[in-house]
A and B are shown apart, each in its own frame.
Chain A
Amino acid sequence: MAVVSTRSGRLGNRIAIAVVIVVTLIFLSPIYWITTTAFKPLVQATSVPPSVLFEPQITPFVKLFTKRAQLTAPVAPEVYEAAPWWERLVLDGGERLARDGKGDVVFSAYPDRFINSLIIAITSTILAVSMGTITAYGFSRFRVKGEADLLFFILSTRMLPPIVVAIPMFLMYRAVGLNDTHVGLIILYTAFNVSFAVWLMKGFMDEIPKEYEEAALVDGYTRMQAFFKIVLPEAATGIAATAVFCFITAWNEYAFALILTNRRAQTAPPFIPSQIGTGLQDWTVIAAGTVLFLIPVAIFTFLLRNHLLRGMSFGAIRK
């Protein structure tokens, strides 16, 4: 009996591993595609059938960070010789770098948009997660009048597709001067994520036995101290998971960023596709912008991977 169950267990394991590998490959294929495109010469990026073997180059990244113009005449050899190696890459592609009055290279808007994305996503994540954690703690530990209705109300803010309110939001934001501001997008993303954070954190808070805080209370601490010394460390896993989800949502948000911002506070998602329209459709630059855009989320998720993976049943509570 034991042998049979072991054997079937092993077989089940192998099937599971095979499924995981296949699913992972499917999920990774777009990332592979966009990453290789970011390093391909433009001709190979658009060739049909797609080229698998190519000589990787970083020209798309140079183009991504600079302002360029089409070359109208062949560049003089001495100018080509004097240009640094990265400028030659651009010249090879039939474009020249735009320079300002002092002769310095003019950067594209991409770094600014990228930093906007970071500021807005990080700030709104911190706000949404901290508000969500405190609210969830309240709902989880205290008898709140109309708790079910309040929680439903919080959830109901997520019940219609956000784009439905895009036009009213645009009008309201314009009226109060919030359009194209960092604060505007931070408020929007925080409001958007906080309902999600409350619900997710409530689940995690409910899992933390209330005896931990009660023990801290009889050990001589106030409820506030118990919350910070005992509950928060215990909720770290939940906070990490919630933060990852909130960060990804804010980081990826496209529609509202497109409508509510245009210059100062514009984030990377609406900026990257806007590059399609300038000059020829240089897909390698779009790909380069997308690859860089993936990195912060990948790093953030990677740093918190242990928290995401660790189960909740690590405590010293007997059930």
Chain B
Amino acid sequence: MAEIELRHIDKHFGPVHVIRDVNLTVKDREFVVFLGPSGCGKTTTLRAIAGLEEIDSGDILLDGKPIQNLSAADRDIAFVFQNYALYPHFTVYENLAFPLRAVGTSKDEVDRTVRSVGKSLGIGHMLNARPSSLSGGDMQRVAIGRALVRRPKALLLDEPIGSLDAKLRETMRVELKRLHFENGSTSIYVTHDQVEAMSLADRIVVMNEGVLQQVGTPTEVYLYPANLFVAQFIGSPIMNISATRISEADGTARIALDSASFELPRELLGMLQQKKAGTDLSLGVRPEGVLLSHDSRAGYQPAEAHIIQPFGSFDIVDLKLGEKTLRARTASGFVTKAGTQVWARIDPSQAHFFDTKSGASLDIRLARDEERSRDVPTPITRQNVEL
């Protein structure tokens, strides 16, 4: 049972403002992932919660009690380091026993706990080994075991699987999810890898330059990015973003992308007016929101396929629209040759509009394209996305 609350956290490193007025509540048993590029302040925030970094101002509360003035040892929060930091002069057993000995646990109790944690993590047979003789995955298991052995109030993980190879990362990801499922300890996990974030998190906290950009479930963050940064940081291949102009013609809204102009439902104009959107408008659409056709159809614009990247289960096709390119996601093998003439349109329900200057989303949702409604999954409705 542990709830972590951050209130107005600020932190400078010399002249650099690394954490800017961060407010966040991590609920009991929740798995929250801090996601952002390197240097965005996510690790510093995590270290501040652990007590390894002092904050300039603000409150860190654990179960409602301020802990920002307690030493790391007294916070009862465990931390898993990116480089594991297993004590090299100790065996695995001693590494696991170390946190228990700090609180004067009896010898029998230590032995029982170490063996049971070792067993649950599948490292029971290597308790007498030295950390240096272990593989990366096993070091990681020991590091997590050392964090869990004392049953801490919260578990903080700083890119714990970042230095493993891709295959092992996938295995460990599943294992981490299982562990959280079994232990249910409140966890904060830092990563710059959006796949990790999406697959592990109950909620994702996107950070950039010390500022929380968006807090939400993986689906919310993916489907309703709060600003241009989140829109471009989440999702791979990244979202198409382009400055654009909207005009009215033939009873529809037309949106200009270089030489092409795509047709969108007329209600967009009203919505823009209602939001008092200026002229600096950016359109964002994920590759799967660009619909392709082999032949000319109503509302489709001609475009030339340029670079085709096969990903196995799908292809990413770069379309040339004058000077600009538009990435589209297609069924694999839909376009086979560069230079092929195709027709494209933008799915209105997957179009995002941003204020170019502030970067903020205008929060405009258009109805789905009737014509394609059978193929497109129902979008999840937006519910209290915290900002």
Contacts and interface: CB of A to CB of B under 8 A. Distances in A.
Contacts of A218: 50-52, 72-73, 75, 77-79
B132 A214 contact: no
A142 to B, nearest CB: 12
Given A212-B87, A316-B86, A317-B85, A221 B132 contact: no
A319 B83 contact: yes
B81 interface: yes
A219 interface: yes
Contact of A219 (B71, B134, B146): B146
Interface residues of B, number: 32
B143 to A, nearest CB: 8
B87 A221 contact: no
A217 interface: yes
Contacts of B102: 219-221, 225
A315 B134 CA distance: 11
Nearest to A222: B73
Contacts, number: 81
B131 interface: yes
B89 interface: yes
Interface in A216-269: 216-222, 225, 230, 233-234
Contacts of B98: 216, 219
A212 B89 CA distance: 11
Given A219-B98, A316-B88, A211 B83 contact: yes
Nearest to B73: A220
A27 interface: no
A222 B73 CA distance: 7
Contacts of B78: 218-219
Nearest to A315: B88
B84 interface: yes
A64 to B, nearest CB: 44
B166 interface: no
Interface string B178-204: 000000000000000000000000000
A230 B136 contact: no
Contacts of B52: 214, 217-218
Interface string B60-100: 00000000000111010111011111111100000000110
B345 interface: no
Contact of A209 (B83, B139, B146, B163): B83
A218 B86 CA distance: 13
Contact of A230 (B51, B75, B87): B87
B99 A211 contact: no
Given A218-B50, A220-B102, A220-B150, A233 B73 contact: no
Contacts of B82: 318
A219 B50 CA distance: 11
B126 to A, nearest CB: 13
A211 B82 CA distance: 9
Given A211-B85, A220-B150, A318 B73 contact: no
A314 interface: yes
Nearest to B150: A220
A314 B88 contact: yes
B105 to A, nearest CB: 10
A234 B134 CA distance: 19
A75 interface: no
Contacts of A214: 52, 72, 79, 81, 85
B122 to A, nearest CB: 18
B103 interface: yes
A119 B107 CA distance: 42
Interface string A299-319: 000000000000000111111
A212 B82 CA distance: 12
Contacts of B51: 217-218
Contact of A318 (B84, B88, B146): B84
A318 B83 contact: yes
A212 B96 CA distance: 14
A222 B72 CA distance: 9
A209 B83 CA distance: 9
Q: Nearest 6 A-B pairs (CB), nearest first?
A: A316-B131, A220-B102, A211-B85, A219-B99, A315-B88, A217-B72
22 contacts: A211-B81, A211-B85, A214-B72, A215-B85, A215-B86, A215-B87, A217-B73, A218-B50, A219-B78, A220-B73, A220-B102, A220-B103, A221-B73, A230-B87, A315-B131, A316-B84, A316-B85, A316-B87, A316-B88, A316-B131, A317-B83, A318-B84
Given A211-B81, A214-B72, 5 more contacts: A212-B87, A217-B72, A219-B73, A219-B146, A220-B73
